[in-house]
Structure 1
């Protein structure tokens, strides 16, 4: 299956990767600061007290980005966990319709999640919600990351549903599901 919006999904994947790199960088710098303080104390010096305030809070929000921005990219590369034990044993003519139904349900649930996230963002903006941690980060920022990731996933599901439905209608016997053999980019 070929995805026409693959550059968009790759952009989401790059956003997820950048989030993971930022988490790694923040935690590494914080560890280095603490290590420097420990070495100074060990040799009789005074602590410098260097630290990045709110590292755990920032890391948590970056983890949201890492988790949700990469969902469409992961889906288009057939890396999501799929419960295909039963479906793969069905004949191709039946399997294509079951896959179509499953993709339709997944898209409907994903669109419901997008709608709920959109209303949550509007509510956060109207009440000027900020995080309750050390840093006062407006909550709409991490919520927007969630919405962007799930919107990308909705697009990927819509593309997969369209392709699968086309196959179901035109040539159900020729259906090839997502599998490791179909490595198209």
Structure 2
């Protein structure tokens, strides 16, 4: 699996693609080896390309909503695809192109649909408003073998609790690399916050 050993997936909203490579390097220095660069800004695609050139860094694409989006992000260098919801055409295109896809689910019904599509790892979104670690535990009952990526409302304060669950393979958030920090070029702060993330991992 592409995320082996990665417990944090930063969600990146970036406005200047020139910041992507130094951002990836700062995350790496802090112990985080991957990121989900979203398509929420015009710089998203170019940022994926720039970050994918950084050795040992795994770049994915977020806010992927259509099969055309899948084509564009894979061409740009994305090695995994994340979407906020479960869209079968996005899943099918990603599988056809050989990239890992992690769609968002919010209900047991959506988990079942995802499993029927052949998926194993799923994004739980929005995790906080859905109930946080309580909803992870609830879904683990009927789906004990499904590893989740909680996203939405995950913070430095609650990430450790999520990571302690055997049903969570990683957590997703933006607190270690906020849009403002990236725009300011404050890569020292991003490195420091990334190191603090790694320290949250249960022993």
TM-score normalised according to structure 1 size: 0.26
Structure (1/2) with the larger strand percentage: 2
Which of the two has greater helix per residue? 1
Bigger radius of gyration: 1
Between the two structures, name the one with larger relative contact order (CA 8 Å, sep ≥ 6). 1
TM-score of the superposed pair, with normalisation by structure 2: 0.25
